[in-house]
Amino acid sequence: MNDVQAMERLGEARGQGLAAIETASSLEELRAAEVAALGRRSPVAEVQRSLGTIDLADRPRIGREVNRVFEDLRAAVAARRVALEAEAEADVALTDRIDVTLPGRRPPPGGLHPLTSTMRAVVDAFISLGYRVSEGPELETEWYNFDALNFPPDHPARLTQDTLYPDVPGDLLLRTHTSPVQIRTMEAQEPPIYVVIPGRCFRRDTPDATHLPVFQQVEILAVDEGLSLADMKGTLEAWARAMFGPDQRVRIYPDYFPFVEPGAGLDVSCFLCGGRGCRVCGNGWIELLGAGMVHPALFENTGIDPERYSGFAAGLGIERVAMLLHGVPDIRMFYEGDVRFLSQLARSA
């Protein structure tokens, strides 16, 4: 072999070797290309072996060129190996760390607070009986909360130990019940009136299992010609069955509130023992609401003719109804914000 042939061979070997190395698409292909370009049977190795047949004068130059081609090919193999290993690593990392067949993580669904869903159920039951929603302010005057409702001036409910009087101008208080909206509604509307009144109420109570200083009521008021105690009883029984089921037994007994005459209370049979008597209810009944026929004094206070119209009203505590519906033993659980409790009773809207 002469020097020209040797240089030509080396040039070809270099070009072919680099091409094979750089296009190797896997580590196996790269190893094959490496053996072909740098192994004992590679064209460069052949030239190296036949160096002895080259003129002594040309031999050092050809020898240096052999080494340079070897080096270039080795460098190309090393660079390609790094690239292929990085690719393989990235593939392994993806498939190992991420199971792309897993379903996505859903955000936890929101739900209605049990007091919200109970409030809506109570209001909806009266809406389905033909009632409309009426509302009034939480910050009330003494007139609407007490006087217009026929409370005498010395009634103990007015005392600061029962009623919260905020430090604001005017004779304002935080309403202790939703009944003042009876007055506001009768002032604003002509009979026939059939309204359901949801709202927050406030009393100066120390929190315990059945009392909180902030709670919610629903009031109902019906004023029309010829309404009697029988209408009140039928309406409340229909509501109780809609809320608690058709087997719910209801009893109505005399009670006193200054704004009704006669006044009544309504009990439902106990949700736990079914009316036989147990630790929760004692005698089989649970007190649920106050009610009665609208006192004529309220008609006089609002300009409605008591000779022509009569009416009935009722007020109930939403927390009490929710406790009955869900068997919750302590009213405070509704307000502690413990998701482990709330999520058991949450309803989607």
Integer angstrom CA distances of residue 96 from 11, 100, 159: 44, 10, 72
Kindly tell me which of 124 and 261 has the beta carbon lying closer to ligand PHE.
261
Q: Minimal distance in Å, beta carbon 248 to ligand PHE?
A: 20
CA distance linking residue 274 with residue 285, whole number of Å: 9
- Name the nearest CA neighbour of 34 among 77, 65, 85, 71: 77
Q: Decide: 319 and 116 in contact? Cβ < 8 Å.
A: no
Q: Decide: 294 and 260 in contact? Cβ < 8 Å.
A: yes
Kindly tell me which of 17 and 317 has the beta carbon lying closer to ligand PHE.
317
Q: Minimal distance in Å, beta carbon 178 to ligand PHE?
A: 7
Q: What is the DSSP letter of 230?
A: H
Q: Minimal distance in Å, beta carbon 316 to ligand PHE?
A: 8
CA distance linking residue 251 with residue 283, whole number of Å: 13
Kindly tell me which of 18 and 293 has the beta carbon lying closer to ligand PHE.
293
Q: Minimal distance in Å, beta carbon 236 to ligand PHE?
A: 11
Structure tokens at 339: 């998701």
Kindly tell me which of 30 and 314 has the beta carbon lying closer to ligand PHE.
314
Q: Which residues bind ligand PHE (CB under 6 A)?
A: 177, 179, 219, 257, 260, 290-292, 313-315
Kindly tell me which of 54 and 197 has the beta carbon lying closer to ligand PHE.
197
Q: Minimal distance in Å, beta carbon 219 to ligand PHE?
A: 6
Single-letter residue type at 214: V
Kindly tell me which of 17 and 292 has the beta carbon lying closer to ligand PHE.
292
Q: Decide: 195 and 224 in contact? Cβ < 8 Å.
A: no
Q: Decide: 247 and 261 in contact? Cβ < 8 Å.
A: no
Q: Minimal distance in Å, beta carbon 126 to ligand PHE?
A: 13
